[in-house]
């Protein structure tokens, strides 16, 4: 009889380079924290939002322990607490934030599962967002900043650091994911896309998000992207893939994707009953729980049964102590909730050039008045040119801003002078333009992204909102100062796509300053203040004023700076106050000829000069507000409300507004001229109010 040789199958030994005892402890700690929330804190209504990480925890912790670079950064989402524990977050901060207590991530301002962690001793966790997919493009911006520090500034201290973004299988259908993927692969950035595929986006199967349900398979032929794909519940495989993916990005300086499959062992949130899963599916997921697999992998080869039990008891004790400490923390003083909307003198812990020691050059508010009058296009270009020359952290980018110089020629020649590392074109994605600017600002650069026309900012609305609230919702831990240049308004004609103003939408986004200069000198002063400041700014460039003869002024000087919130009196008088901005300023000046009027150019809408308006109205006793935007809910309504509230007894006539009707800008010049307030219509309104 032939003899059959049996090959002995030996279980692979755990990678000795990994501190498996620490990995096991952190997984047990994460489980204990989830358990105490689910069984005690949520039922007691001490935690209002709870997103269990069970099933995701082991692989995240393996990832976090690979992030050892001084400037490594990761941006996760609401199921990323295990990663934060691996980076060194205090468990009491984690539980305290979940309970909305003082201290922790936000001082109770943001939901506790939306983490941030400015880590001075290693990898930071960039501020997470509540919106699915919003984490991708800011992480791409951080990765591009790492590349900028090395390639453009020659700073080798950033040469081996990486950016990591975490997302679920549902998030790969978002605009942010595809925009970041395009940015990372076309620019070859050191960025790792870490996709946790648990098969569901809340209740929607992954096959609804991606054909076949496997984003890694779908992207196998995506040029410039290396794919790693495997089982996130197998300790050995997850450790190997995580190590290989991180090492690839760190050494090759190229993007990669690591997709790991894993079960979500709880509902999307605590309130989710998972009624959309049948009993067989739930049982199959429980059988894939990585925690028993981890124990089986380590005991007895690395840890004894008693050692494992000791780690478990230690994790439980740490969690209970963290709960006691968190519950002892008070709720923040309600009056403090209005702090840190803008920079108020206390420097943020991470983000912006000032955090890196920037000190603005000496400036003056006195404009030079000699010299040739230049148009606003030239004035803005000259200001950008000068600030680029004295500050190597400034970067300009957007669609067509490079060799073409922008569709309005504002950046013409700047790429030739400063190179494509500092002035560059982007892919056609406003989400990507603003999102990457957020990441670059967090990394200490001064991004100056351009949105070609006001209406085109709409796809970036989520990133604009998230950027504005970033300082506030992290309680001044992070800030992302930038200057977003947006041309808009009518020109020789109008249309619904290129000619809107709608500045009020930005004013209603907390944390954004908004500049609306009407002339070349004001544009210089406000732009320079923005570039040297410590807050995000919307810098509105009115298309009709870019080459308008009235808007031409002598260049006011390379050190000329205008403060925000300080209006300009274009005319002085005592019969009526006319409040306006942008392209309506010269029309109001023309209409006021022959009358004794204060014509006030606000110059900035956030903040706006309330005192100048109120003091003028108390003197003239009449107020007319003129703007190009729609009347209903336009910014003029805010001014009118303040005047009525604070100067009502001083008025001799009703506060009046003259605006566009509630329609988009018409294309035909005849229709446009009818819709936009003209000097004649403004004059008629002045006469009407003076005769009241």
Q: Rounded distance, CA 608 to CA 610, Å?
A: 6
Q: Rounded distance, CA 240 to CA 234, Å?
A: 10
Report pLDDT digits (tens) over 102-121. 988 999 999 988 999 999 88
b/e map 84-112, b = 16+ CB within 10 Å: bbbbebbbbbbbbbbbbbebbbbbbbbbb
| DSSP H helical ranges for 15-90 | 20-36, 57-64, 81-87
Question: Active site residue: 498, 542, 548, 627, which one?
Answer: 498
Please state the rounded mean pLDDT for residues 164-192: 97
The SS3 assignment for 404 reads: coil
pLDDT band at 3 (very low <50, low <70, confident <90, very high): very low
Do 622 and 645 touch, CB atoms closer than 8 A? no
Residues above pLDDT 90, as percent of the chain? 96
Q: Tokens 């010049």 label which residue?
A: 669
The three state secondary structure string of 509-531 is CCCCEEECCCCHHHHHHHHHHHH
Give 300-308 contacts, CB < 8 A, sequence gap 24+: 301/11, 301/13, 301/14, 302/14, 302/20, 302/21, 303/20, 303/21, 303/24, 307/21, 308/24
Instruction: Give the per-residue pLDDT at 8.
Output: 42
Instruction: Give the per-residue pLDDT at 12.
Output: 77
Examine the residue annotation and report whether 548 is marked as an active-site residue of this protein: no
Please state the rounded mean pLDDT for residues 292-311: 97
Average pLDDT, the chain: 96
Do 53 and 198 touch, CB atoms closer than 8 A? no
Please state the rounded mean pLDDT for residues 229-234: 98
Q: Rounded distance, CA 339 to CA 258, Å?
A: 40
Q: CB burial class (10 A; 0-12, 13-18, 19+) of residue 43?
A: exposed
Do 612 and 600 touch, CB atoms closer than 8 A? yes
Instruction: Give the per-residue pLDDT at 447.
Output: 98
Q: Rounded distance, CA 36 to CA 663, Å?
A: 55
Give 271-278 contacts, CB < 8 A, sequence gap 24+: 272/202, 272/203, 274/203, 276/200, 276/203, 277/200
Q: Rounded distance, CA 385 to CA 107, Å?
A: 41
**12 vs 100 pLDDT, higher one:** 100
Cβ neighbours of 634 (radius 10 Å): 22
Report pLDDT digits (tens) over 583-596. 999 999 999 999 99
Give the largest Cα separation in the chain, rounded.
Answer: 121
State pTM to two decimals. 0.96
Beta bridge partners of 246: none
Nearest CA to 63 out of 93, 23, 15, 121 is that of: 23
Do 595 and 577 touch, CB atoms closer than 8 A? no
Q: How far is CA 195 from the centre of its chain?
A: 21
Nearest CA to 511 out of 487, 538, 541 is that of: 538
Q: Rounded distance, CA 157 to CA 159, Å?
A: 6
Q: Are strands 163-168 and 191-197 parallel, antiparallel or unpaired?
A: parallel
Q: How far is CA 641 from the centre of its chain?
A: 31
| DSSP H helical ranges for 533-634 | 584-591, 610-620
Q: Rounded distance, CA 172 to CA 190, Å?
A: 19
Beta bridge partners of 193: 165, 257
Q: Virtual CA dihedral for 82, 460, 604, 562, nearest 10 degrees?
A: 70
pLDDT band at 270 (very low <50, low <70, confident <90, very high): confident
Beta strand ranges found along 34-142 (DSSP E): 73-75, 124-125
pLDDT band at 630 (very low <50, low <70, confident <90, very high): very high
Q: Rounded distance, CA 149 to CA 437, Å?
A: 15
Instruction: Give the per-residue pLDDT at 6.
Output: 40
Instruction: Give the per-residue pLDDT at 10.
Output: 60
Please state the rounded mean pLDDT for residues 669-682: 96
Is pLDDT of 5 > 50?
no
């Amino acid at each position: 009889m032939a003899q059959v040789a049996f090959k002995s199958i030996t279980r692979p030994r755990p990678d000795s380079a990994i501190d498996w005892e620490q990995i096991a402890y952190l997984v047990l700690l994460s489980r204990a924290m989830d358990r105490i929330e689910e069984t005690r804190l949520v039922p007691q209504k001490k935690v209002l939002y709870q997103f269990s990480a069970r099933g995701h925890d082991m692989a995240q912790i393996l990832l976090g322990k690979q992030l050892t670079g001084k400037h490594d950064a990761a941006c996760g989402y609401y199921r990323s607490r295990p990663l934060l524990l691996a980076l060194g977050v205090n468990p009491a901060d984690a539980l305290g934030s979940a309970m909305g207590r003082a201290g922790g991530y936000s001082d109770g301002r943001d939901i506790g599962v939306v983490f941030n962690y400015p880590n001075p001793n290693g990898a930071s966790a960039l501020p997470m967002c509540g919106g699915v997919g919003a984490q991708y493009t800011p992480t791409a911006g951080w990765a591009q900043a790492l590349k900028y520090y090395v390639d453009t500034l020659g700073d080798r201290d950033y040469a081996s650091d990486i950016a990591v973004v975490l997302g679920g299988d549902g998030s790969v259908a978002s605009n942010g994911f595809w925009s970041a993927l395009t940015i990372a692969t076309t620019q070859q950035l050191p960025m790792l896309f870490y996709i946790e595929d648990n098969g569901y986006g809340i209740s929607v199967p992954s096959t609804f998000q991606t054909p076949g349900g496997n984003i890694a398979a779908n992207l196998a032929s995506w040029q410039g992207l290396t794919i790693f794909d495997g089982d996130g519940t197998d300790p050995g495989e997850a450790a190997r893939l995580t190590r290989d993916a991180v090492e690839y990005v760190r050494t090759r300086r190229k993007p990669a994707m690591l997709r790991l499959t894993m079960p979500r062992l709880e509902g999307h949130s605590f309130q989710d009953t998972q009624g959309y899963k049948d009993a067989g599916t739930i049982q199959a997921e429980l059988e894939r729980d990585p925690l028993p697999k981890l124990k089986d992998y380590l005991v007895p080869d690395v840890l004894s049964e008693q050692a494992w039990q000791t780690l478990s008891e230690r994790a439980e004790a740490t969690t209970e102590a963290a709960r006691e400490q968190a519950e002892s923390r008070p709720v923040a003083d309600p009056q403090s909730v209005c702090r840190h909307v803008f920079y108020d003198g206390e420097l943020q812990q991470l983000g912006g050039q000032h955090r890196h020691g920037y000190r603005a050059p000496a400036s003056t508010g006195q404009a030079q008045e000699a010299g040739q009058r230049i148009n606003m296009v030239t004035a803005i270009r000259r200001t950008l040119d000068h600030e680029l020359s004295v500050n190597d952290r400034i970067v300009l980018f957007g669609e067509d801003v490079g060799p073409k110089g922008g569709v309005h020629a504002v950046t013409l020649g700047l790429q030739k002078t400063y190179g494509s590392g500092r002035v560059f074109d982007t892919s056609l994605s406003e989400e990507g333009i603003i999102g990457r600017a957020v990441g670059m600002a967090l990394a200490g650069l001064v991004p100056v992204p351009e949105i070609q026309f006001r209406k085109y900012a709409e796809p970036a609305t989520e990133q604009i909102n998230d950027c504005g609230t970033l300082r506030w919702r992290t309680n001044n831990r992070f800030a992302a100062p930038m200057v977003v240049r947006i041309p808009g308004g009518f020109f020789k004609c109008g249309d619904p796509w290129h000619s809107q103003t709608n500045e009020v939408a930005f004013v209603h986004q907390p944390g954004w300053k908004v500049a609306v200069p009407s002339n070349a000198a004001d544009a210089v002063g406000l732009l320079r203040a923005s570039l040297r400041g410590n807050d995000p700014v919307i810098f509105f460039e009115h298309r009709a004023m870019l080459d308008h003869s009235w808007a031409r002024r002598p260049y006011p000087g390379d050190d000329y700076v205008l403060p925000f919130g300080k209006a300009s009196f274009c005319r002085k008088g005592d019969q009526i106050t006319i409040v306006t901005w942008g392209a309506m300023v010269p029309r109001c000046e023309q209409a006021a000829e022959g009358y004794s009027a204060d014509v006030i150019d606000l110059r900035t809408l956030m903040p706006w000069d309330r005192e100048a308006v109120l003091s003028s109205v108390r003197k003239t006793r009449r107020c007319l507000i003129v703007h190009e935007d729609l009347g209903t809910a336009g910014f003029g309504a805010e001014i009118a409300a303040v005047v009525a509230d604070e100067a009502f007894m001083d008025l001799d006539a009703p506060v009046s507004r003259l605006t566009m009707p509630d329609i988009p800008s018409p294309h035909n010049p005849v229709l446009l001229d009818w819709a936009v307030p003209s000097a004649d219509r403004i004059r008629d309104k002045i006469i009407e109010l003076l005769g009241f």
